[in-house]
Amino acid sequence: MIMIRRGDGQLRMRDHPDTSDGLGFDSRSSPGLCSSEVEAQLEVITPGLTASVPWLMAGQDTRPVPDAPAGQCASSRSAREMTRGQDVGLAVACAEEALEEAPCRHDPLCVWRALVTLVSAGELVTVDEQCARLVEDVEPGPFTRAQRRSMMLRARARVARHTGDLPGARRVLGELIESDVTQNVRLLGVSWLVDVLLEEGAIDEAVDLMERSGLETAAQQWLMCRPMLLSARAAVRLATGAADIGFQDFLQAERLFEGQRMSNRAMLLCPTQISLAAKAAHRDEFAARIAGQVLLRARGWGEPRVLGMALGTLATVEDGPDACAQLTEAAELLEVGGARSELITVNQELARRLAARDDVAGARWRIGQAMGIAKEIGAHGRVRDLRAEFGGLTESVQLTRQESRVASLARGGHSNEQIAGKLALSLRGVEFHLSNVYRKLGVQGRRGLRDALGEQVAVRRT
């Protein structure tokens, strides 16, 4: 069975021999893997950067063309490696070859495939530099300028989202949704914008967009972008407390994703949220099992952002003795991957666990990191949520000038007697100031002081 698109943009199932190359399309239906002409004639929407079979040859005319060459196009090889999710180095090498060498470098579809692969591999700087070529530096062939511009906007939107530029992602997606695109591409943009709004903490706005856009109804139809629509709807339901229903939506999206023979989690809108939804729905065993499988696949691909998300999710749902160490490693991976939005979530979860251990200084530092990132990327709803959950831990510690001097010397290894001599204080005065510092920072002694003073501490002008 294969899915083919009707004129109304919906999919229907049709019996067909399995001659696919692993990307979900029949290689016999094209006179060459590097040709965009047939795909445009079939009105393929190449949603890309999604779990929606980016390269699906879908349309009403699916008559096979015999003796088609296979495996000759660098962009096709890059896409194949991306969907398999096993060799990121080979996928990137093929994508770079497609961008640099003819005939791929002149073909909009080949450039698009290469960019999608590079997004999934975390090569976001290259994508940002190259995506304008889709409009300015390719041979248009059968693709209209509007179609090529929509590809460019989708690539830019994913770069902005992956790097935590939420205002930028919102702006680009708004432009995409309002432009001359097909129903599938518009709904795809809506699903991505819902995700951005949720990352900003704008839950009410995400709910309103889902209702106004028709996403709720469209998620019930056999559209090519249906896995993404289900994932977006599931994320909204999870954010609004409807964990059981959200989990069912995620499960359905996951089954569609697997049915499209794609193993790479980097292509999903919410690559790890099915485990979190299962945990929220009190299906702990399922949540841990899926989280472990997601982590295994993420390790196989090796892209830091998805790997960090997978490791952080496993630590959250398993809640084992190594959870703090796993979350710390996840934060480091997300830092490397430039995934600022996801870094807020991991720091928030780590702060919860450190606070439960009475490690107030460690929790305060993690919350400070999360707050700083949230403010930087414009996630104002997340800032409000952090303040509501952690209260005083989100505020800067206020030390007097004398407390700051005493703390700095103590952190540097000076004894109380040495501090007293340097600052012309009595020993009792040093002890008094240190006691205040420990209380304000939430630490027990000099060892905790060394960690706590790594955070931003305000000094009162007194």
Tens digit of pLDDT per residue, the chain (462 long)?
Answer: 333 333 344 433 333 333 333 323 233 333 333 444 434 433 333 334 333 333 332 222 223 333 334 456 899 899 888 888 889 999 999 999 999 998 899 998 889 889 989 998 999 999 999 999 999 888 888 888 988 999 899 999 999 999 999 999 999 999 999 987 788 889 989 999 999 999 999 999 999 999 999 999 999 988 778 888 999 999 999 999 999 999 999 999 888 877 766 666 666 656 688 999 999 999 999 999 999 988 998 998 999 999 999 999 999 999 899 999 999 999 999 999 999 999 999 999 999 999 888 888 788 889 888 999 999 999 999 999 998 998 866 666 677 888 888 888 888 888 999 999 888 889 888 888 888 887 777 667 777 676 666 544 444 444
Domains identified in the chain and CATH numbers = 2-270 (1.25.40), 397-459 (1.10.10.10)
- CA dihedral angle for residue 186, residue 190, residue 195, residue 199, rounded to 10 degrees: 120
- Kindly tell me the burial class for residue 282, based on how many C-beta atoms sit within 10 Å of its own C-beta (0-12, 13-18, 19 or more): exposed
Structure tokens at 417: 């007697």
* CA–centroid distance for 89 within its chain: 20
pLDDT in tens, 75-103: 989 988 888 888 999 999 999 999 999 88
Distance between CA atoms of 288 and 300, rounded to whole angstroms?
19
* CA–centroid distance for 229 within its chain: 16
Distance between CA atoms of 406 and 419, rounded to whole angstroms?
7
pLDDT in tens, 202-251: 999 999 999 999 999 999 988 778 888 999 999 999 999 999 999 999 99
Q: Which residues pair with 10 in a beta bridge?
A: 223
Question: Could you tell me if 261 and 24 are in contact, meaning their C-beta atoms sit under 8 angstroms apart?
Answer: yes
Question: Could you tell me if 309 and 287 are in contact, meaning their C-beta atoms sit under 8 angstroms apart?
Answer: no
Distance between CA atoms of 100 and 226, rounded to whole angstroms?
33
Q: 341: Cβ–Cβ under 8 A, 6 or more apart, which residues? A: 161, 164, 166, 199, 373, 377, 379
Strand 457-459 relative to strand 11-14, pairing: unpaired
